[in-house]
Homo-oligomer: A and B are copies of this chain.
Amino acid sequence: MKKIYKAHILYTKEQNRFEVLENGYIVVEDGCVVDISTDLSALKCSDAEVTDFGNRLLIPAMNDLHVHAPQYRNQGIAMDLELLPWLQNYTFPEEMKYADTAYAERMYRRFVRDLWRFGTMRASVFATIHTESTRLLMHLFQEAGMGALVGKVGMDACCPPKLRESVEEMVKGYESLIMDDGQPTGNHQFPPLVQPIITPRFIPSCTPEMLRACGQLAAKYHLPVQSHLSENKDEIALVRELEPNSTCYGDAYNQYGLFGQTPTVMAHCVWTEGEELELMKRNGVVVAHCPTSNFNVASGMAPIRRFLDEGLHVGLGSDISGGHDLSIFQVMVYAIQVSKMYYQQNHECPFLTLSEAFWLATKSAGSFFGHVGSFEPGYEFDALVIDDSDLNHDNYTLLERLERYIYLGDDRQIVHRFCRGNEIAEPEVS
């Protein structure tokens, strides 16, 4: 079934510039972009039905490379605590509640609905150690038709006993999620929209046995991996103590097969440099840059320009609830701002441009989910239609309109959302 959508189309094929199609057309078939042009007659399949979005903007949907679903209740509270009391008094007690799948369902439904609200169609998500709540979260994404890599968290050290799981239980739980995994539509053109991702919380929360088992699971089932890396200096010093045979924090993951042996995303990387950076480059490890979180938790400023210059893959993450804002548009704004503050202190590192921030959130982050985040032919059609008329009290260019939407807009202006070619309706909450 072919469809043509008409609108003002903006996307970033390359990091340094926007593609801008005023009154452009995009042909979608079987969930993928087939052709794109401002000339209807030049299109492949120009005879398909045209849906005209008029003066609205059509852009790729957002991708969130790092978010903790069970911390959604704590979004925007206790933001002036230090890391340790915050974990002990807010994060861990909240995660314990997810032993109860009824509580999990109430919260996770709202979480998925709000990802939808802010136009995030793909996310790499931390759940908790609880297998059944994690399974539920996967089902909610499937039900919504939105893409997600969902991680049952591996954790057996340095945390309350109720948040520990033995290595055997962890493996058994994961394998039951993997068996459960599959694509409801039966369409095998794509990988499943929703898949498990191996998720050791971070080195200090895991015994060597837990880390080894995680690496083995990833290898055995060809599953991606996510965790946290080099977020703050105390954490790095602690990892150095815990893993004396590793040359750096990243190397500790690497020794357990958790650093690029399968597709891997590491959140933060605020203090990544030298050997760790080289290892990430060599292994193709992706950075989930979480600037709101880095501000809120006083971690520091990640050297994103350096990462881009070195050719590392980088995407953006909301990191709820270290981050306070689920909107990846707002995370883009912060990514530019943190790069400006970094530039102010290191003039050899130019700050991010708008096209770079947009590319990070779309094509660059989307690559972790497949051919996602661009409108080039062959890409999955993940898209948002933005009605920004209420933001425009004067004449603006299309690029200015997009920039104003990113800086000033919110969920009110997103009027249609597509994931893998399907229009996604508002997920139900209970």
Q: Are B301 and A80 in contact (CB under 8 A)?
A: no
Q: Does A336 contact B (CB under 8 A)?
A: yes
Q: Please indicate the chain B residues that have their CB under 8 angstroms from the CB of A336 in the complex.
A: 79-80
Binds B, one of A56-64, A157-165, A197-205, A392-400: A392-400
Q: Does A13 contact B (CB under 8 A)?
A: no
Q: Does A207 contact B (CB under 8 A)?
A: no
Q: Are B407 and A76 in contact (CB under 8 A)?
A: yes
From B78, B325, B404, contact of A76 by CB (8 A): B404
Nearest CB to that of A394 among chain B residues? B73
On chain A, the number of residues with a Cβ less than 8 Å from chain B's Cβ atoms is 41
Q: Are A352 and B76 in contact (CB under 8 A)?
A: no
Q: Please indicate the chain B residues that have their CB under 8 angstroms from the CB of A80 in the complex.
A: 336, 351-354
From B75, B76, B325, B352, contact of A406 by CB (8 A): B76
Q: Are B296 and A337 in contact (CB under 8 A)?
A: yes
User: A341 and B295 in contact (CB under 8 A), knowing A333-B324, A393-B110?
Assistant: yes
User: A77 and B341 in contact (CB under 8 A), knowing A324-B333, A324-B408, A333-B324?
Assistant: no
Q: Are B403 and A77 in contact (CB under 8 A)?
A: yes
Q: Are A393 and B106 in contact (CB under 8 A)?
A: yes
From B295, B394, B408, contact of A340 by CB (8 A): B295
- Name 29 A/B residue pairs within 8 A (Cβ), A-sorted: A73-B393, A73-B394, A75-B404, A75-B407, A75-B408, A76-B403, A76-B407, A77-B396, A77-B400, A77-B403, A77-B404, A78-B400, A79-B407, A80-B336, A80-B353, A80-B354, A107-B393, A107-B394, A295-B341, A296-B337, A297-B340, A298-B340, A298-B341, A299-B344, A324-B333, A324-B408, A325-B407, A325-B408, A341-B341
